[in-house]
Amino acid sequence: MHWTAADLSSALRVVATQVSTKGAAGKPSTPKPPAARRPLLPAVLLKFVIAASSVLLVLYLVVHMLGNLQIFFGPENIDGYAVWIRTILAPLLGNEGFVWVIRIVLTLAVVGHIWAATLLALRAKKARPVKYAAGNKVKGSYTTRTMRWGGVIVLLFIIYHILDLTTGTLNPNGEHLAVWDNVHADFAPDRWYVTIWYVVALLAIFFHLRHGLWSATQTFGWSSNRREPILKAIATAFSGLLVLGFLIVPISVTFGWI
């Protein structure tokens, strides 16, 4: 530790102010004061918001992926599945009630996730007002560097995906609950660009999850030196399997396997 820094810097500062008043004639120079007010939420808590919301989102993705695989058991199966999930807890919540509960919870999770990430990104910008002339050469892996913009791609994809296969607005067939027909119309061979867009977006999700899953364990304080390589390997394998499970559907439809 530089215990003498306090004395040294205050001494230097006196000299510095004298020099600056002499040197900056006519041009008022205002050195930025350090953060004036305490941030409302500690950055550590914002990270918990990101990790906790991601747990809900990942659990949803797992169920979503397994549900999608019903398509390999034929049209009746996937269309029936779509009807069935709307009847879960119907006596309690009414028809579609369960689906709406899930939608609301997911929306809250996504909003919280993006809100906390945006706050952290804004704070990061403020924490380094002057950038490095030679660039910051200490870089994490590709996945850690693309979390923010990759996340934006994932968000755009989710919006497109909801308009495509939930509301049917952007779907050429677009008939409610006709899942088999909608999916086949969507990923028809002549609409190969839609399939490519889905593949690209799912790769973005893979990269986002690969770092995000391990990052959540670090945020909850479960990661350690010993566990880190194992946790990272599990995160990669899990995200890989999950994304493959999603990819297989549009690719199989485009290539006419189902």
Partner 1 sequence: MRLNLRVWRQKDLADKGRMVDYSVEDASEDMSFLELIDVLNEKLILQGEDPVAFDHDCREGICGACSMVIDGQPHGPQKATTTCQLHVRQFSDGDTITVEPFRAGAFPVIKDLVVDRNAFDKIIQAGGYISANTGSAPEAHSTPVPKAAADRSFAAANCIGCGACVAACPNGSASLFLGAKLTHLGEMPQGQPERYDRVVNMVETHDDAGFGGCTNTGACATACPKEIPLDVISQLNKDYLAATVRGKRRKA
Q: Is 128 in the site for partner 1 (CB under 8 A)?
A: yes
Figure out which of the listed residues 29, 91, 92, 193 binds partner 1, where binding follows CB under 8 A: 29
Q: Is 219 in the site for partner 1 (CB under 8 A)?
A: yes
Q: Is 118 in the site for partner 1 (CB under 8 A)?
A: no
Figure out which of the listed residues 69, 102, 105, 120 binds partner 1, where binding follows CB under 8 A: 120
Q: Is 162 in the site for partner 1 (CB under 8 A)?
A: no
Q: Is 64 in the site for partner 1 (CB under 8 A)?
A: no
244-248 contacts, C-beta under 8 A, 24 or more apart: 245/65, 245/66, 245/68, 245/69, 246/64, 246/65, 246/68, 246/202, 246/205, 247/198, 247/199, 247/202, 248/69
Residues 70-99 that bind partner 1 (CB under 8 A): none
Residues in the chain: 258
C-beta closer to partner 1: residue 141 or 166: 141
Q: Is 140 in the site for partner 1 (CB under 8 A)?
A: yes
Q: Is 221 in the site for partner 1 (CB under 8 A)?
A: yes
Q: Is 25 in the site for partner 1 (CB under 8 A)?
A: no
What does the alpha-carbon distance between residue 158 and residue 49 come to, in Å, rounded to a whole number?
A: 20
* Binding track, positions 184-213, relative to partner 1; x by CB under 8 A: ---------------------------x--
Of 218, 215, 210, residue with least CA distance to 235: 210
Q: Is 222 in the site for partner 1 (CB under 8 A)?
A: yes
Q: Please check whether residue 255 is in contact with residue 93, taking contact to mean a CB–CB distance below 8 angstroms.
A: no
CB 56 to partner 1: min, Å: 17
Looking from the CA of 3 toward its CB, the CA atoms found within 13 Å total: 0
247: its two tokens: 């990819």
C-beta closer to partner 1: residue 55 or 89: 55
What does the alpha-carbon distance between residue 51 and residue 67 come to, in Å, rounded to a whole number?
A: 24
217: its two tokens: 């364990």
Q: Is 26 in the site for partner 1 (CB under 8 A)?
A: no
185-190 contacts, C-beta under 8 A, 24 or more apart: 186/250, 186/253, 187/249, 187/250, 187/253, 187/254, 188/253, 188/254, 189/254, 189/255, 189/256
Give the range of 140-148, 155-163, 179-187, 236-244 binding partner 1 by CB under 8 A: 140-148
Q: Please check whether residue 256 is in contact with residue 184, taking contact to mean a CB–CB distance below 8 angstroms.
A: no
Contact positions toward partner 1, by CB under 8 A? 1-3, 5-6, 9, 12-13, 15-17, 19-20, 23-24, 29-32, 34-35, 38-39, 42-48, 119-120, 123-124, 126-141, 144-145, 147, 211, 214-215, 217-225, 228
